[in-house]
Amino acid sequence: MRKALAIPSLRALWLGQGISVFGNVFLQIAAFWILQLRSPYLLVAAGVVIALPQLFAFLGGVLVDHFGAWRLMVLTDLVRAAVVGTVLVAALADPTITPYLLLVALALTTLGGALFGPAEATLLPEVVSGEGLVAANGLMQSTSQTASAVGAAMGGAALIAVGVGAILGFDAATFVASVASLFFVTASSRRRVAPTDTPAISLRAIREGLSAAREMRWLIQTLPIIALTNLLFFATFISLPYWVHHVLDGTVADYGLFDALWAGGLILGSLNAASFRRWPAWKVIAVMATVEGALFLLFPFWLSIPGELAIMVLAGILNGVINTIAISVIQASIPAAMRGRVLGMVITLLGLSTPLGPLVTGVFFATGWSLVILWMLSGVSGIAFGLVWGLSKDVRSAMTDGFSGNVTSSAS
């Protein structure tokens, strides 16, 4: 980890990511709480508007390969700062429409994130290569989750103390700070990720990225269970503020604590993922996904804030390890010339089911079905995910050498 931080460009990325994520979490905690107080259906709408933009990650990948990752990251954060600033002015002018303005802010900042994500994922393996990539991914993910944990823990208190207007202003300022940090990325790193043979922004470029993604046979074969797990996990997390408020009789501070401890678990998992690097990646993911699913099955039956917080931490640790391994394997297996488009395609394919998650939550609210069933379905899907990864021959053959950069071709 220390060797990775010795690289100036990585330090700049690390700092900028942490700053902007911190502001985003402040905004999301405040928005979700305000919206669920107004109506549970506005909470569902919030889930939809932060999920739909993820489908545009493929466009972010094309833009990365066209403009270069660094340029796209700077432009995206400048636009997001302007959007949140505009929403702040409108909210101050007419406070009665604040809930709807918050939906706009969530939608547009998430859309920016859908473009920013493939750019950052493309830039990272150019800045840090070889075995350092696992440590760098762990560092970046743990930093993101640290900012999420601190932001979530403070977000509820901030809403009470300073109000939503100050939170919007702070979020806009963090995007500006993120842009400033990107200018500390070394000039050589910026040039290295700027494409020399720029592909046109066209349907052909998109098809090329999709074709390259299809060659990762192990990923395509496991995509259905990944999609189902994403859908159900997202649906349960959209319902979490409602669960805390109406089932556990908790406050906004309690909800922030749930979000913070989940993020804290992700931090621990991300930071320690490299300790599993000698194990085959498929085995680590299979075991940990199965255990995480079992924890989700247990969650709705504990019915105490301390007990359920403990489950969130443990599940978060497992999820952090899984995420770090997965992104390292995928990055290492993609040719540099196609990295932006393929990563964009992969992110989009993995997120195809996410917009349906809030709709599932809405069905439970509308029909009066118990949210216990939703948590149980999430647990079962997590266990199924682990079993599929453990039993698939293509997954096992593609990940026989761990995840320290030694990935065999899944199409062989």
CATH code of residue 321: 1.20.1250.20
pLDDT at 352: 61
Task: Please report whether residue 268 resides in a domain.
Answer: yes
The DSSP output letter for 245 is I
pLDDT at 41: 82
Average pLDDT, the chain: 79
Q: How far apart are CA 138 and CA 168, in angstroms?
A: 29
Joined together, the tokens standing for residue 1 give 């980890």
The residue ranges of DSSP E strands in 98-166, in sequence order, are: none
Q: Give the domain range for residue 27.
A: 2-398
pLDDT at 317: 94
Would you say the pTM of this structure is higher than 0.85?
Answer: no
Task: Please report whether residue 408 resides in a domain.
Answer: no
More confident residue, 284 or 117: 284
Joined together, the tokens standing for residue 125 give 């393996």
Joined together, the tokens standing for residue 389 give 């990864």
pLDDT at 335: 64
Joined together, the tokens standing for residue 57 give 């990650």
- Per-residue pLDDT tens over the stretch 271-305: 888 788 778 888 899 999 999 999 999 999 988 89
- Per-residue pLDDT tens over the stretch 12-44: 777 777 777 777 887 888 888 888 788 878 877
- Rounded (10°) CA dihedral 46, 52, 54, 58: -160
Q: Is the pLDDT confidence value at 411 over 50?
A: no
Task: Please report whether residue 171 resides in a domain.
Answer: yes
More confident residue, 171 or 357: 171
Residue 407 binned pLDDT confidence (cut-offs 50, 70, 90): very low
pLDDT at 402: 46
Q: Please give the tally of structural domains in the chain.
A: 1
CA of 210: how far to CAs of 51, 216, 252, 329, in Å? 21, 10, 42, 18
Cβ atoms of 81 and 67 closer than 8 Å:
no
Task: Mark out the alpha helices in 199-338 (DSSP H runs).
Answer: 203-214, 217-238, 240-242, 252-272, 281-302, 305-332
Residue 410 binned pLDDT confidence (cut-offs 50, 70, 90): very low
Burial 209-245 (b: 16+ CB within 10 A, else e): bbebbeebbbbeebbebbbbbbbbbbbbbbbbbbbbb
Identify the sign of the CA torsion 26, 186, 195, 349: negative
The DSSP output letter for 399 is T
Cβ atoms of 359 and 59 closer than 8 Å:
no
CA of 261: how far to CAs of 138, 152, 327, 375, in Å? 18, 9, 22, 18
Residue 270 binned pLDDT confidence (cut-offs 50, 70, 90): confident
Task: Please report whether residue 404 resides in a domain.
Answer: no
- Per-residue pLDDT tens over the stretch 331-372: 776 666 666 667 776 666 666 666 677 788 888 888 888 999
Task: Please report whether residue 403 resides in a domain.
Answer: no
Residue 408 binned pLDDT confidence (cut-offs 50, 70, 90): very low
- Rounded (10°) CA dihedral 346, 348, 350, 353: -160
More confident residue, 21 or 249: 249
Task: Please report whether residue 410 resides in a domain.
Answer: no
> Residue for token digits 């443990």?
314
More confident residue, 213 or 410: 213
Task: Please report whether residue 262 resides in a domain.
Answer: yes
H or E stretch covering 139: helix 132-182
- Span 161-179, average pLDDT: 85
Least Cα distance to 213 among 381, 338, 47 occurs for 338
Residue 309 binned pLDDT confidence (cut-offs 50, 70, 90): very high
- Span 143-159, average pLDDT: 68
Residue 406 binned pLDDT confidence (cut-offs 50, 70, 90): very low
pLDDT at 292: 96
